[in-house]
Amino acid sequence: MKTISAAILFVYLIVSATVQAQTNQSISAKIDTIIIKLANLQTSVDALKPPPPKSTTSMLFPFAINQLGFDTAITLANTLSVDGTCILNFFGTAAPSPMTTPTITAGTVYAFTMGATAPGFQGYLLVDCNFPRARGWGFVSDLGAHNLATTVEAEILP
């Protein structure tokens, strides 16, 4: 009887050790799978984060004129706490070479007219500012704004 009990105990120990080893391998494999899934989840979450804020602003003024008795006033606002400049790029009739504005102090507005900056111009402007969240507005009118006027909002480009 002791021999049978010893044999049963021996088989029991072998089976237990085998089951334990398989269980450890199974747990290890499951942990590896969980780690991979967590890494994939982190990648997905990172992809949903918004991009960092731009450090510059590009704007399109779709129409500006200084012809036929009309003139356009343009304002560029620096809405943050960083001073900077803007490059004015003119496209159209009598377009001057690109110009750089004076420094636009944070929290202030720079204004100019086509008559003073680009006499005889008719077309559009692309404005590139080296500070974020710049905003722009245009005002087109007959000279003196006696009979006709309209505004031109600058489109913020991506």
Note whether 43 and 62 are same-domain residues: no
Note whether 45 and 61 are same-domain residues: no
Task: Indicate which CATH number applies to the domain containing 96.
Answer: 2.60.290.11
User: Rounded to whole angstroms, what are the CA distances from 101 to 86, 120, 131, 142?
Assistant: 5, 20, 13, 25
Note whether 32 and 101 are same-domain residues: no
Q: Residue-wise pLDDT tens for the chain (158 aa)?
A: 556 666 565 555 555 656 565 666 677 777 778 778 767 777 877 778 777 777 999 999 999 999 999 999 999 999 988 999 999 999 999 999 999 999 999 999 999 999 999 999 999 999 999 999 999 999 999 987 778 889 999 999 99
Note whether 36 and 64 are same-domain residues: no
Q: How many domains does the chain have?
A: 2
Note whether 1 and 64 are same-domain residues: no
Which tokens is 138 given? 């245009």
Query: What is the pLDDT, as a whole number, of residue 7?
Result: 56
Query: What is the pLDDT, as a whole number, of residue 95?
Result: 98
Note whether 42 and 63 are same-domain residues: no
Note whether 70 and 95 are same-domain residues: yes
Note whether 94 and 144 are same-domain residues: yes
What pTM value is reported for the model?
Answer: 0.67
The residue segments making up the domain with residue 90 are: 57-157
Query: What is the pLDDT, as a whole number, of residue 6?
Result: 60
Query: What is the pLDDT, as a whole number, of residue 148?
Result: 85
